[in-house]
Each structure stands twice: as structure tokens, then as C-alpha cells.
Amino acid sequence: MLVSLRPKVILFDLDGTLVNSTRCVEKAWRVICKEHDVDAEYLFEHSHGVRTEEVFKAHFPNIPADQRSIAAFESTIYGDYADDAEEIMGSRELLRALDGDAALTQKWGIVTSGTRGLATTSISKVLKLNRPPRVFITAEQVTKGKPDPEGYNRGFELLRKQLDHAPEENLEAIVFEDAPAGIKAGVSSGATVIGITSTFDKEALLSAGCTYAIKDMTKVKVVANSRRGYFLEVDVL
């Protein structure tokens, strides 16, 4: 089914949404689960889309949830398993279309549960982008991770200021997410959420609260891109 949407701004999750990093992330977690006698399958069921800090606190009480431990763990994801990461089909092409003409102010951003180092590596090595978007919210910049909407609220506020929208002006927004925690965060921020079936199936995504689900980013077409926003056609499942 084809639906038409006219958002003024768009925010993306990164891992599982623009980049398929599930295999390398799960391989890294399996190693640490084995070392600490934690059920990996149970962990995956409850950790997708959640910051490493919160995963450590909930499942690995013997590991300090500090920046040093988090950085050491996350460095293994691409350090040891980079070959398992790949672009979600259509991501690069979609981001280029969203940028449009160089004269246009960027109207999209990324909100990820990964740290800045991990997210920057995903963007450069997998998406092959020269730099992150101007609105780039990572784990270190929020006090509460997904499913709390803090990250998305902050991202939308930055986009509002960047585009010079008045605080009282309605900011029609879309969030693209792949995990229930992120979907709940997007819904709580007031955005229309589109789920990507890279990690969970359509039913799980809809149950978490997304309005639509798609297979990948090839299903999103930018029909128009102007200073006022976007006109998208989305082929939903």
C-alpha cells in the first residue's frame, strides 16, 4: 500500500534502521554474555535499541557502566566484526535525496543509542558519508535512553531552531526506527513512527506503536524537497 506523507522534519535511528549492524552487535554481546554467564537470547530480546549503559546496569552488575567500559565494549563491534555490518538497502540514496540541493537547510538528523564513536564509525564505514548530519544525538548527550523520548525531543528541538520554526508552530515529524524501545520513544515525542523490519517483524513493530512498517529504505521515495519540508511516498507492508 502506498501512503503519502508531508513531514517538515525527519529523525532516524541508526543501527537497524540505516545500518544493519545486528549480526556484529550480537556477536559482540555473545562474547560478553559467555564471560558473565548471561543468556544471550534473553539479552537480545530486551536490549535492542537500548544504550549500552542501561544494558550493563540491567544485565551485567559486575561491569562498571562507565564511559571507559562502554567504549571498550563498543570498540569490539566494528573492531572485530565490521564485515558483518551493511547498509539497510536504500539508505544512502534516501539520505542524498533528503539533503537535496546544497542551498537547502538540512531537515533530518540521527538519534542513536550508540556512543558517538560507534555511531560515527557506522556513518563513515558503512554509509560512506563524509560526516554525520548536523543534528546528531548520541548516547552521551542524553540522561535517559530509549524508550524515553529525551533523545528525539532534543533532536526535534534542534531541527526547529535550525529551520527557524517558532516554538508554538506545529512541527510535523517522522521517526524511522527498528526496535520497540525506539518506536515507543518516537511515539512519545509526538512523531509519526515508521518501523523497519530489519530486526523485528511487522506485528512486533505495530504492537510497539508505529503507524506503518516497511521492509527497507528503498520503499521511501522523496517526491518533493523544499524549504517547507518533504513530500514522501512510502510503500508500506
Residue 120 in grid coordinates: 560515527
Q: How much is the pLDDT for 105?
A: 86
- Which spans in the chain are helix H? 22-36, 40-47, 52-59, 67-81, 91-99, 116-121, 150-162, 180-188, 202-208
Q: How much is the pLDDT for 22?
A: 87
225: left (phi over 0), alpha (psi -120 to 50) or beta: beta
Round to the nearest angstrom and report the end-to-end CA distance of the chain: 7
Residue 149 in grid coordinates: 523520548
Active site residues: 83
Helix (H, G, I), strand (E, B) or coil at 32: helix
Q: pLDDT tens per residue, the chain (237 residues)?
A: 999 999 999 999 999 999 998 899 999 999 999 999 999 999 999 998 999 999 999 999 999 999 999 999 999 999 999 889 999 999 999 999 999 876 688 999 999 999 999 999 999 999 999 999 999 999 999 999 999 999 999 999 999 999 988 777 888 999 999 999 999 999 999 999 999 999 999 999 999 999 999 999 999 999 999 988 999 999 999
Q: Phi, psi at residue 203, to the nearest 5°?
A: -60, -40
* Overall size of the chain counted in residues: 237
Q: How much is the pLDDT for 103?
A: 67
Structural domains in the chain plus CATH codes: 2-20+86-235 (3.40.50.1000), 22-84 (1.10.150.240)
Tell me whether residue 135 is exposed, middle or buried, using C-beta atoms within 10 angstroms of its C-beta: 0 to 12, 13 to 18, 19 or more: buried
Q: Amino acid letter at 225?
A: N
pTM of the model: 0.92
Q: How much is the pLDDT for 185?
A: 98
